[in-house]
A = this chain, B = another copy of it.
Amino acid sequence: MKIVLIGSGKVASALADLLDALGHSLVQVYSRTADHASLLANKYGAAAISSLADINKTANLYLIAVSDDAIDEVVKQLPESLKGIVIHTSGATHLSVLDKFPNGGVIYPIQTISKHTDLKDRTTPLGIEGNNEISTALLLEIGKSLSKKSFYCNSHQRLALHVAAVFANNFSNALYQVAHDILKENNLSFDLLKPLILETAHHVQNQLPKEVQTGPAKRNDQNTINRHLEFLTQKPNWTTIYQELTLLINNKDQ
């Protein structure tokens, strides 16, 4: 396929790497910042553009991988007449944002993508949706080549996945940071918690989180909970989070 990549960030880079490895031809890379476009385009022998007015109109796939709040602006600037499929990669953005294109769709990678992320092991689940039967069928085929775990999901399911990912990834990571800060204030290294953090993530690979839940909240061990709350006295935000999550775990047991 001839592919135009719109975006030059971490998701765009990881997808470009994967598509190139699978033998697709990246013909153009767009970024508002010309240098960013060039940097990525040069890697794949593609042309760099920094204006969407210069877009190649004969590509098979237009892959919008920009930040969620930039998608609208990109869509506005793209010509309606594009015959290739125009897709975005956002979990929280409805397919309808692409309504103006005859062929639109979504490929949503369910992973936290850093500059070190390698999608080439094809284990990242990809949520796929198209705005008509042909687009959906084609995107499902493409998805199958990009990942062993691609699947159809509609926009509401994709939003559910995105919210769930925020809880499982963004919020867990924020809790790691709280743990880090507590240790730092007590002259303890964050290294001490690293095996525990890994083990916690490994536990839920084969068992439900509910089945492996432990701790004072789960045991309803009020003495320990009170000791912890006393420890957190000076930290109202951490205290609220402690209380809310303790309540959540308690309710689960009912």
- A231: min CB distance to chain B, Å: 5
User: Chain A interface (Cβ within 8 Å of chain B)?
Assistant: 67-69, 92, 110-112, 114, 123-125, 127, 149, 151, 153, 156-157, 159-180, 182-183, 185-188, 190-205, 208-210, 212-219, 221, 223-224, 227-228, 231-232, 237-238, 240-242, 244-245, 247-249, 251-252
Decide: A248 and B244 in contact? CB cutoff 8 A: no
Residue of B nearest to A67 (CB): B219
Taking a contact as CB atoms under 8 Å apart, the answer to whether A92 and B227 are in contact is: yes
Q: Is the CB of B165 within 8 A of A212?
A: no
Contacts of A180 in B (CB 8 A): 164, 208-210
* Min C-beta distance of A239 to chain B, whole Å: 10
Query: In the complex, what residues of B have CB within 8 A of residue A192's CB?
Result: 110, 125, 127, 149, 151, 161
Most B CB contacts (10 A, CB to CB) among A182, A190, A249 go to A182
Who on chain B is nearest to A186 by CB?
B160
A169 to B201: give the CA distance in the assembly, Å: 9
